[in-house]
């Protein structure tokens, strides 16, 4: 076969196949159409229509029929279908009529009138077109006589002629007798219910004319009305009742109107308002539950009714407060949340919004609903005015606190990662929104994404180099990474911007204080002193800095300077025991006996007697060297010195003499010794056993301290005695504890700790943080009796 | 405190804490330190201090230990600026709504839309069955 023949054969075959395919599409479309699957029919026929124009009327019909069946969820679809139908068959008045009706229902009167006019101009316009068109014309302007009037049937014309003056406010119709309306006679013949409708209209005409009694009697009969008219009758009966001030009757009628499908804005507003007198009476009587119920009913009618929202919020707030005062926080949270939702629908953001959000956050935290709490804090943060100059009720410190709290609550909820994603999206959408960027920084920091947080801070400062909060945060970021110098640079930049900013000056002092202490601990005392001296220029009333400065001067053998530093500390904090105690300890570390005596005497002179015995305990214990040198930390005392130990012992005894019968004081001394002064602790633990020989705990404590001070066998004996006493007294858990301790004393690691004088907590780990949130770190074992500190 | 409750192991402590804990949403009742000290929320630190000492004089610890405990706790919550920020932020706020509510406004006019909607009932606008408009296919 030649090439040419081959192609022509192929083309013939393909053309045949195509025709058959088109035929099949038409048929499939027809099948679908008759089965009521209009969408499928349209799909097939649209494909076949190019080659089979005879399908077009069927296709148009399919579009038309589909337009009548669309769900209300797709309000635009009927219009599209009808437009396509009119495109496909442009000379069919039915399609234009339905297109006009579709526009008319949507309130698109101009478009409706054009479609009505086209339909009216085509052959055989459908019955009803002229009436609907006249209505559209009246709706557009009741003062213009409808052009379609001459095409109307007599009854329709009569109806329009009655309606038009009513719409214009002309109520003469009301005064005519029913039999005087010729249109009514024809209406009655044509439409069932038309006579009742006429009565209803007459009632409305009376109402328009201000004759409420006549309106009432015209509106009373209820028989034979179509549902819409029945609903309207109830609505206007409600209006009449409201005009009389009978709110409850009005409410009943308006509820009836709503139940019959009427849903106009004025019905919703009036129904809401009709509940308010009862709600307000309940408010006046402080019947908050009643007020909430009435307000909720009002809001069911109109969710954004401002007065109903006001009543609801007020009553819900009162109920929430009462619940909170009883500790019923979950109930309070639910009430505030409802109040917040109601208020947000009806009002713009204002001080009430803020109060509700703050209360919601508080109640959510108390109910441990962390996610809700975080969300509420974040919503509150979003109410911050954008302009820095705008007056605001919250201070910068409070805004900061809220940001931190939101993040803390998110952490508690385990929700930081999604927040980061959300904030990043927000930043992407609004790259110059610095507040969001700063929030992102906080969240990144809380989620330990430090590098990302640092980068974000740099970006903020590129956008606005004067943004103090970001620079302060960048300084904190450097501190977090122990980049002291970089942190200080940022603080200097801030101080250049605003030299008198007390917050920045305070933070700068704190920063330098930390750096000074860190240098001192590392043995770089001269450098530490220099930094502390700068720190004090930023916080001239900070006692701690002067004391640390004094310590540095003592280590540099500059005792006169140290004395001057301590004088400054006395000047500022001389009325506080802690100041005296710290200064005494500095002189103890420097082993200056005379100075220590002087400082003690000064404390006793400057402070009102008697001094707290703990002052003598703490200073006394400072005189003792640690049990053994700690190889992992700085030396705490320079050398063992009997004279100092005697002095320390004397002060502790002075404390005991001040409160000779105070067992708690002995417990306190023993507790303080557990860290590094085990033999001293053993002395006072023994004294406890003498004072309370039947107390198993005293024996256990003494046994433990003796064992840890090297008297292992004796200590074990004491523990055994303590266990026996506990058993006799039925304290099984305490007995178990004593036996456990005895066994643990045999382990090599405890022996090593004991011989090195290590703080025992370092070996055994600290108790769980949440157990002792407010306490100092505890050693491996603490006598269970509560310490007094 | 009895001897049993003096047992020292941390997990014991934690268990007893858990046991004593109230059910969720039923935690400690709300208390307002400003109300306890009888001062406005905008009080200065001096006013707070004065009010505290005044309250302590009125309720000395040796005679009214519980009242004193409350007063002391209230003062502690307001003593430093940092604590005060937190305390203020965790105070339930009053909502700024007038208790003298405005009278409800009613719309008692006859609406032209209602008149029209009755006329529409006679038109095809509210019909759903148009089978007589269908073309034969």
Whether B96 sits inside 8 A of A350 (CB atoms) is yes
pLDDT range class, residue A129, cuts 50, 70, 90: very high
pLDDT at residue number A628: 44
Predicted pLDDT at A482 = 84
Which residues on chain A are in Cβ contact (under 8 Å) with B125? 101, 104-105, 132, 135
Q: What are the pLDDT digits (tens) for A637-668?
A: 444 567 888 889 899 999 999 988 888 888 88
Which residue of chain B comes nearest to A60, CA vs CA? Answer: B135
Contact between A350 and A310 under an 8 Å Cβ cutoff? The reply is no
Interchain CB distance below 8 Å, B8 and A786: no
Q: Please report the pLDDT score of residue B8 as a whole number.
A: 31
Q: What is the pLDDT of residues A742-752, one digit of tens each?
A: 888 777 766 66
* Partner-chain contact B96 A280, CB within 8 Å: no
Cβ pair A116, A132 in contact under 8 A: yes
Tell me: pLDDT of B27 over 70.
no
pLDDT higher than threshold 90 for residue A34: yes
For the ranges A755-759, B1-5, B21-25, the lowest mean pLDDT is seen at B1-5
Nearest to A228 among B10, B12, B118 (CB): B118
Q: Is B24 on the interface with A (CB under 8 A)?
A: yes
More confident of the two residues A196 and A110: A110
Over range A615-622, report the average pLDDT. 91
Among candidate residues A36, A79, A88, the one with its CA nearest the CA of residue A60: A88
Contact A329 B26 (CB under 8 A): yes
What ipTM was estimated for this complex? 0.71
Interface of B with A in 59-118 (CB under 8 A): 81, 85-86, 88-99, 101-102, 104-118
Contacts of B30 in chain A (CB under 8 A): 321, 324-325, 327, 366
Two structure tokens written together for A419: 């927040």
Mutation target vs A (from B16, B25, B111; most A CBs, 10 A cutoff): B25
Does the pLDDT at position A186 exceed 80?
no
> Does the distance separating the beta carbons of B106 and A401 come in below 8 Å?
no
Q: pLDDT band at residue A330, thresholds of 50, 70 and 90?
A: very high
Give residue B109's pLDDT band: very low, low, confident or very high (50, 70, 90): confident
Q: Which of A57, A104, A785 sits opposite B6 (nearest CB)?
A: A785
Residue A268's pLDDT band, with cuts at 50, 70 and 90, is very high
The B residues from 25 to 54 touching A (CB cutoff 8 Å) are: 25-30
User: How is residue B59 annotated by DSSP?
Assistant: S
Cα angle at B29 between B25 and B33, to 5 degrees?
140
Quote the pLDDT of residue B18. 39
How close, in Å, is residue A9 to chain B by CA atoms?
37
Q: Which residues of A touch B124 (CB under 8 A)?
A: 97, 101, 128, 132
Please report the pLDDT score of residue A425 as a whole number: 79
Per residue in B29-75, pLDDT tens?
788 999 999 999 999 999 999 999 999 999 888 888 888 999 999 99
Please tell me the distance from the alpha carbon of residue B22 to that of residue A191, in angstroms, as a whole number. 71
Averaged pLDDT for residues A291-313? 91
Checking phi first, is residue A498 left (phi over 0); if not, alpha (psi -120 to 50) or beta? beta
Of A430 and A639, the one with more pLDDT: A430
Asked if pLDDT for residue A10 goes beyond 50, the answer is yes
Nearest CB to B134 within list A65, A274, A339:
A65
Interface touch A310/B101, C-beta < 8 Å: yes
| Cα–Cα distance, A716 to A724 (Å, whole number) | 12
**A192–chain B nearest CA distance, Å:** 10
With cut-offs at 50, 70 and 90, classify the pLDDT of residue B12: very low
Reply yes or no on whether the pLDDT at A212 is more than 70: yes
State pTM to two decimals: 0.52
pLDDT at A527 over 80: yes
- Which chain B residue's Cα is nearest to A158? B119
Q: Which of B10, B12, B30 sits opposite A324 (nearest CB)?
A: B30
Rounded to the nearest integer, the mean pLDDT of chain A is 83
Q: Which of B90, B125, B126 to mutate to test the interface with A (most CBs of A within 10 A)?
A: B125
Rounded CA-CA distance A786/B1 in Å is: 10
Least Cα distance to A440 among A358, A425, A478 occurs for: A425
The answer to whether residues A708 and A715 touch, using CB atoms and an 8 Å cutoff, is yes
* Number of residues written out for chain B: 137
Q: How many contacts does A have with B, using Cβ atoms within 8 A?
A: 225
Pick from A427-436, A601-610, A718-727, B1-10: least confident: B1-10
Across the interface, of A226, A307, A366, the residue whose CB is closest to B101 is A307
Closest approach of chain B CAs to the CA of A480, in angstroms? 21
Asked if A327 and B22 come within 8 Å (Cβ–Cβ), the reply is yes
Asked if B90's CB is within 8 angstroms of A362's CB, the reply is yes
Phi-psi label, residue A430: left if phi above 0, alpha if psi -120 to 50, beta otherwise: beta
Question: pLDDT at residue A767 above 60?
Answer: no
pLDDT at residue B99 in the model: 58
How confident is the model at residue A719, as a pLDDT?
93
CA-atom Rg of chain A in angstroms: 45
CB A61 to CB B137 under 8 A? yes
Of A669, A651, A763, A752, the closest CA to residue A710 belongs to A752
Asked whether the beta carbons of residue A208 and residue B8 sit closer than 8 angstroms, the reply is no
CA quadruple A680, A681, A685, A691: dihedral, nearest 10 = 60
- Decide if A128 and B124 are in contact by the 8 Å CB cutoff: yes
Residues in chain A: 789
Query: Which of A156, A163, A242 minimises the CB distance to B106?
Result: A242
A188 to chain B: nearest residue by CA?
B122
Rounded mean pLDDT of A40-68? 92
């Amino acid at each position: 076969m030649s090439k040419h023949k081959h192609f022509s054969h192929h083309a013939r075959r393909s053309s045949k196949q195509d025709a058959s395919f088109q035929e099949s599409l038409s048929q499939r479309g027809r099948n679908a159409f008759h089965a009521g699957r209009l969408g499928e029919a349209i799909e097939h026929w649209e494909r076949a229509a190019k080659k089979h124009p005879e399908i077009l009327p069927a296709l148009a019909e399919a579009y038309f029929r589909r337009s009548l069946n669309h769900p209300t969820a797709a309000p635009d679809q009927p219009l599209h279908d009808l437009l396509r139908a009119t495109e496909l068959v442009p000379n069919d008045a039915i399609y234009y009529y339905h297109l006009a009706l579709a526009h008319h229902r949507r309130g698109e009167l101009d478009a409706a009138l054009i479609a009505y006019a086209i339909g009216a101009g085509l052959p055989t316009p459908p019955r009803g077109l002229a009436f609907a068109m006249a209505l559209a014309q009246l709706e557009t302007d009741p003062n213009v006589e409808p052009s379609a009037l001459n095409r109307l049937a007599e009854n329709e014309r009569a109806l329009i002629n009655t309606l038009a003056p009513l719409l214009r406010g002309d109520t003469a119709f009301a005064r005519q007798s029913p039999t005087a309306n010729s249109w009514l006679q024809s209406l009655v013949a044509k439409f069932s219910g038309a006579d009742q409708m006429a009565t209803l209209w007459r009632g409305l005409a009376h109402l328009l004319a201000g004759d409420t009694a006549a309106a009432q009697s015209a509106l009373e009969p209820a028989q034979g009305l179509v549902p819409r008219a029945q609903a309207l009758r109830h609505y206007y009966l409600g209006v009449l009742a409201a005009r009389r001030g009978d709110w409850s009757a009005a409410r009943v009628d308006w509820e009836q109107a709503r139940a019959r499908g009427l849903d106009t804005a004025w019905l919703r507003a009036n129904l809401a308002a009709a509940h308010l007198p009862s709600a307000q009476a309940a408010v006046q009587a402080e019947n908050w539950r009643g007020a909430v119920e009435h307000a909720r009913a009002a809001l069911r009618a109109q969710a954004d009714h401002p007065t109903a929202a006001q009543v609801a919020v007020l009553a819900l707030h009162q109920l929430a407060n009462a619940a909170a005062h009883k500790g019923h926080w979950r109930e309070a949270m639910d009430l505030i949340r409802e109040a917040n939702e109601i208020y947000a629908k009806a009002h713009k953001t204002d001080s009430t919004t803020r109060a509700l959000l703050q209360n919601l956050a508080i109640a959510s935290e108390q109910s441990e609903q962390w996610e809700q709490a975080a969300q509420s804090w974040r919503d509150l943060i979003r109410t911050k005015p954008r302009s820095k100059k705008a007056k605001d009720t919250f201070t910068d410190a409070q805004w900061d606190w809220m940001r931190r709290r939101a993040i803390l609550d998110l952490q508690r909820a385990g929700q930081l990662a999604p927040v980061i994603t959300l904030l990043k999206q927000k930043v992407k959408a609004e790259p110059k929104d610095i507040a969001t960027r700063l929030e992102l920084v906080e969240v990144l920091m809380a989620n330990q994404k430090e590098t990302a947080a640092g980068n974000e801070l740099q970006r903020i400062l590129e956008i606005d180099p004067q943004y103090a909060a970001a620079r302060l945060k960048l300084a904190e970021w450097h501190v977090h990474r122990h980049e002291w110098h970089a942190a200080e640079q940022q603080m200097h930049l801030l101080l250049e911007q605003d030299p008198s900013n007390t917050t920045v000056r305070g933070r700068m002092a704190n920063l330098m204080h930390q750096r000074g202490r860190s240098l001192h601990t590392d043995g770089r005392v001269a450098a530490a002193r220099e930094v502390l001296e700068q720190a004090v220029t930023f916080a001239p009333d900070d006692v701690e800095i002067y004391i640390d400065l004094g310590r540095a001067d003592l280590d540099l053998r500059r005792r006169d300077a140290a004395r001057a530093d301590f004088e400054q500390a006395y000047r500022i904090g001389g009325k506080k025991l802690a100041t005296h105690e710290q200064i005494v300890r500095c002189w103890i570390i420097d082993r200056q006996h005379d100075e220590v005596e002087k400082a003690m005497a000064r404390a006793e002179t400057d402070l009102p007697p008697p001094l707290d015995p703990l002052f003598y305990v703490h200073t006394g214990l400072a005189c003792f060297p640690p049990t053994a040198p700690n190889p992992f930390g700085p030396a705490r005392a320079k050398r063992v010195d009997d004279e100092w130990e005697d002095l320390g012992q004397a002060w502790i005894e002075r404390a005991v003499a001040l409160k000779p019968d105070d067992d708690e004081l002995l417990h306190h001394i023993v507790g303080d010794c557990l860290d590094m002064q085990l033999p001293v602790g053993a002395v006072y633990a023994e004294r406890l056993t003498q004072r309370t020989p039947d107390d198993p705990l005293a024996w256990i404590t003494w046994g433990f301290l003796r064992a840890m001070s090297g008297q292992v066998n004796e200590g074990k004996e004491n523990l055994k005695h303590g266990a026996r006493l506990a058993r006799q007294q039925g304290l099984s858990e305490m007995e178990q504890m004593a036996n456990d301790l005895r066994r643990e004393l045999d382990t090599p690691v405890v022996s090593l700790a004991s011989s090195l004088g290590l703080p025992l907590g370092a070996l055994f780990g600290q108790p769980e943080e949440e157990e002792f949130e407010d306490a100092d770190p505890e050693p491996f074992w603490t006598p269970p009796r509560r310490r007094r500190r | 405190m009895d001897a049993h409750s003096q047992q020292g192991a941390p997990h014991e402590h934690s268990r007893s804490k858990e046991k004593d804990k109230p059910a969720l949403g039923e935690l400690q009742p709300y208390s307002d330190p400003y109300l306890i000290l009888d001062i406005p929320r905008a009080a200065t630190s001096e006013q707070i201090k004065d009010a505290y000492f005044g309250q302590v004089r009125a309720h000395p610890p040796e005679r009214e230990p519980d009242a004193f405990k409350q007063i002391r706790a209230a003062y502690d919550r307001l003593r430093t600026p940092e604590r005060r920020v937190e305390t203020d932020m965790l105070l339930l706020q009053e909502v700024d709504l007038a208790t003298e509510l405005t009278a409800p406004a009613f719309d008692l006019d006859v609406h032209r839309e209602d008149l029209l909607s009755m006329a529409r009932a006679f038109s095809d606008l509210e019909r759903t069955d148009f089978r007589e408009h269908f073309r034969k296919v």
